[in-house]
Amino acid sequence: MTKVDFYTGSEDKLRTACQLSHKAVQNGVRVLLHTSDEATAEALDKLLWRYPAIAFIPHCRCHEAGAATMPVVVGHQSDNFPHSELLISLHTSCLPFFSRFERVIEIVGQEEEDMRLGRERFGFYRDRGYELRHIDLRKQAN
């Protein structure tokens, strides 16, 4: 069954997605970063080329030829993905295909509306019996 991690209190959800992707790739885990729109996918794609500061995370978009071999794939429309290891969702609702993945990461920001939507997603997974873990990024920063 899919394991779901909630990272809450993110100051910058795209940067958090990059940090979590970098850590996953270092551990040999392939990542799908799924965004809600093209503009966010484009911004994330650009950030991945500059993160971390001394390197970059090898990645491509879902529709590109190299997606099957790339450690990180960025998408926003398709539900046809080259792997099913880790899904990092940058959506405000649960994705209908999340259960195809071994693990899902939901990132929640500090804005009130984003926190409310994050609680709804948490309840969705909890009510269906998924194994949940919560990481409060504000506590880790201190």
CA distance 96 to 78: 12
- Categorize the per-residue pLDDT at 141 as very low, low, confident or very high, splitting at 50, 70 and 90: low
Query: What distances in angstroms separate CA 117 from CA 55, 78, 109, 112, one per listed residue?
Result: 34, 23, 10, 9
Q: What is the pLDDT of residue 86?
A: 98
Query: What is Dmax (Cα atoms) for the chain?
Result: 42
CA distance 115 to 8: 8
Counting Cα atoms < 13 Å in the Cβ hemisphere of 6 gives 25
- Give the domain range for residue 79: 3-141
Q: 52: cis peptide before it, omega within 30°? A: yes
User: What is the count of structural domains for the chain?
Assistant: 1
Question: What is the reported pTM?
Answer: 0.93
pLDDT in tens, 98-130: 999 999 999 999 999 999 999 999 999 999 999
Among 12, 65, 21, 68, which residue's Cα sits nearest to residue 40? 12
Q: What is the pLDDT of residue 1?
A: 93
Q: What is the pLDDT of residue 142?
A: 57
pLDDT in tens, 67-91: 889 999 999 876 678 889 999 999 9
CATH number at residue 29: 3.40.50.10110
Q: What is the pLDDT of residue 130?
A: 97
